[in-house]
Amino acid sequence: MKNRPAKKFPNPYSEKLNEFSAHCWNQDSKDIPVKNWNSHFEKRTNGKIQKTIFEVGCSNAEFLCRVAKDNPEIGFVGIDWKFKVLYKGAKRISDQKTANISLIRGLVQNSKDFFDSKEVDEVWVFFPDPWAKKSQLKNRIMNEEILTILADLMKPGGKLYFKTDH
């Protein structure tokens, strides 16, 4: 019996993300139209954006929506690698008509593809999966490689907010 390559089944939420193409993109499609986030948010909000905040692991954007509602002068970019939760976040943003949030379905390791160097004012990483077992340590998102990438994205004086319960 020959070894056959595993079949790849597309995630059903991959195509559904296209319903929200004004504020949500999949890194795999390579069509993220934004490189200057302040300009993107100023067009979407018809206002002046004072800073850009990048949340790593935004999940369904529930937290971002609450914070963005009270801070219309801030542009928020959330990233998560899970299709379904990001779809729920994109729907929430659309339903609430929150124009100062955009989402990316992707990996934080590829953040340089979505941002210019020195573009982000703050990075938020709240309660990432701890990957506590020795065999899982390679999966942690808080490591030297990721910190170097995030440092390059941040403006001089930028801040990294990290919170964990592990």
Q: Which residues are catalytic?
A: 129
Local confidence pLDDT in tens for the 166 residues of the chain: 455 555 567 888 988 999 999 999 998 776 677 778 999 999 999 999 999 999 999 999 999 999 999 999 999 999 999 999 999 999 999 999 999 999 999 999 999 998 999 999 999 999 877 777 888 777 778 889 999 999 999 999 999 999 887 7
Instruction: Please state, in angstroms and rounded to a whole number, the distance separating the CA atoms of residues 124 and 160.
Output: 6
Asked whether the whole model's pTM tops 0.95, one would answer no
The CA distances from residue 23 to 17, 35, 118, 148, in Å, are 10, 13, 22, 27
